Copies of this chain bind each other. A is one copy, B any other.
Amino acid sequence: MSLSKTEVNKDLLKERSRCQFDIQELTNVLDGGKRQTLRRKKMEDFVLSGDAHKDEVPDECLSIKERYENAVKKSCLYGSMLRPKLLEMRGLDSFGTPTIRRLADAYFKEISPFLLHMGMFIPTIIGQGSPEQQAEWLPKALSFQVIGTYAQTELGHGTFIRGLETTATYDPNSEEFVLHSPTLSSYKWWAGGLGKTVNHCIVVAQLYTQGKCYGVHPFIVQIRDLETHEPLPGIKVGEIGPKMGFNTADNGFLILDHYRIPRENLLMKNAQVLKKSSKHGKLAYGTMVFVRVTLVSDSAFNLAKAATIAVRYSAIRRQSEIRPGEPEPQVLDYPTQQHKLFISIATAQAMQFTANWLWATFTKVQADMISGNTDTLPELHALASCLKAVSTSDAAAYIEECRFACGGHGYMHSSRLPHIYSYVVATRTYEGDYTVLLLQTARFLVKAWEQTESGNATTPTITYLNLAVNGGTNGWDNRELKIASR
């Protein structure tokens, strides 16, 4: 039965008939223009018109093993369907557009085990590989001959990247790097797809040459045989176990035992990297900032989904008797319910417009960097960090409010809300923990305040501090467009 033939609930029809704005206009604005809306609809029709994305048995009823098998099967179907489009993708921007990410969300329902291949392995090669490295690896990766993930976090270190223990020691005789996990706490931990799916991996390790440590660097490491898919000698790899969500992502661990890789597998955007490690440090921001930027958009999308589900439920659900003899009111009419839902709707929209602006800023900074200018990177980094922390945390909290608004029904997986929560609440932690990023933001602002006081120029988004220092605003003016200025 297609959706168009389903009879629409009368309460929903009633609510929709009362809408006082142009739905199509708002849709276009949210998509970024009429053309983008049409493009999205076309893609959605193409991908979702068949039955391939439908599960015979809900994922939540299956064992972990069966869920994974289902996710791999769907990934293969999805990949072959989109292959022509995938092979066209080159720039980081093509991996960050919401359309493809959101389409995958509708198609998989769960996480694709290839998420980090598309979302971090390939973007890292694009962002940190030299032109030669990109020429070698991208065609293989985009055609899924090489399937990779990104292994940075270790069992003992996440936030403190300088503390990573995995070593990559250069052997000038064989022109190889020797990768090694010296301790239990140095085991790579968490990388999605590592447990079962990938045959390659970007390993972030401390680079040693001639007895000296040059800090963490990314290396491309083959970990499984391309024919048998067995781990190669010197590699121990497996799954880390079941989690609150992401249960089809086969997050894994990796233990390297004096494992040798060719010198050329050190990713180097340009040849000076080894000599000027400070420059490399800035370039390495790339993938991390990219992921944080996309997470702001993901947060907005998922909160909007949760709000949509909860609003529809609230229009249909009727409860209690306000006036004797009258029908039970829709719960949407209760102020306590509106308080939960309207804040969620407004936040989702505000977050989406912020995400659009952040994405535009990101692509601009990317262009600057390609032309050799890294001046705008620190501000982007600060903004992406702060907005990542706030949007993932707020989205998770409001999604849970939307779930509460559906009462017991929100506890059922059929409402989809438990899944949305367990997915989004993970993003609050990964790619930069909430508390750590807030502290980092505070440090950025204090530094900016000091710079402002000493008369030095600050970056564009915090010029409002100048007004505070020079104009002496004491009050808070929240009239439209006049926040903190008078």
B411→A160 contact, CB < 8 A: no
Query: What residues of B have a CB within 8 angstroms of the CB of A408 in the complex?
Result: 153, 158, 189-190, 429-430
Oligomer: number of copies = 2
A142 to B69, CA, bound (A): 44
Q: Closest Cβ of chain B: how far from A291's Cβ, in Å?
A: 15
Q: Closest Cβ of chain B: how far from A417's Cβ, in Å?
A: 8
A411→B244 contact, CB < 8 A: yes
0/1 interface trace, chain A 324-342, chain B, CB 8 Å (1 if under) = 0000100000001000000
- Interface residue A97 (Cβ < 8 Å from any Cβ of B): no
A391 to B378, CA, bound (A): 44
Query: What residues of B have a CB within 8 angstroms of the CB of A163 in the complex?
Result: 319-321, 328
Selected contact of A404 from candidates B189, B321, B429, CB within 8 Å: B429
Q: Which B residue's beta carbon lies closest to that of A405?
A: B435
Q: Closest Cβ of chain B: how far from A377's Cβ, in Å?
A: 23
A407→B426 contact, CB < 8 A: no
Selected contact of A60 from candidates B64, B157, B320, B413, CB within 8 Å: B64
A242→B429 contact, CB < 8 A: no
Q: What is the number of residues of chain A that contact chain B, defined by CB distance less than 8 Å?
A: 50
A435→B336 contact, CB < 8 A: yes
Query: What residues of B have a CB within 8 angstroms of the CB of A411 in the complex?
Result: 243-245, 426, 429
0/1 interface trace, chain A 231-261, chain B, CB 8 Å (1 if under) = 0000000001111110000000000000000
Q: Closest Cβ of chain B: how far from A292's Cβ, in Å?
A: 16
Q: Closest Cβ of chain B: how far from A333's Cβ, in Å?
A: 14
- Interface residue A139 (Cβ < 8 Å from any Cβ of B): no
- Interface residue A94 (Cβ < 8 Å from any Cβ of B): no
Q: Closest Cβ of chain B: how far from A69's Cβ, in Å?
A: 12
- Interface residue A58 (Cβ < 8 Å from any Cβ of B): yes
Query: What residues of B have a CB within 8 angstroms of the CB of A422 in the complex?
Result: 244, 418
CB within 8 Å for A413 and B328 given contacts A319-B157, A336-B439: no
A414 to B160, CA, bound (A): 23
A410 to B153, CA, bound (A): 15
CB within 8 Å for A240 and B412 given contacts A336-B435, A439-B336: yes
Q: Which B residue's beta carbon lies closest to that of A245?
A: B411
Q: Closest Cβ of chain B: how far from A322's Cβ, in Å?
A: 11
Q: Closest Cβ of chain B: how far from A38's Cβ, in Å?
A: 37
3 cross-chain pairs, A with B, having the tightest CB-CB distances, nearest first: A60-B242, A244-B418, A63-B63
16 A–B contacts from the bound complex (CB under 8 Å) = A60-B64, A60-B241, A61-B242, A62-B63, A63-B66, A153-B408, A158-B407, A160-B328, A162-B321, A163-B319, A190-B408, A242-B413, A244-B411, A336-B439, A407-B429, A418-B422
Known contacts A61-B64, A407-B433; can you find 17 more A-B pairs with CB under 8 A?
Answer: A60-B242, A61-B63, A62-B64, A153-B408, A156-B318, A158-B407, A160-B328, A240-B412, A241-B413, A243-B411, A243-B413, A245-B411, A336-B435, A404-B428, A407-B429, A408-B429, A410-B429
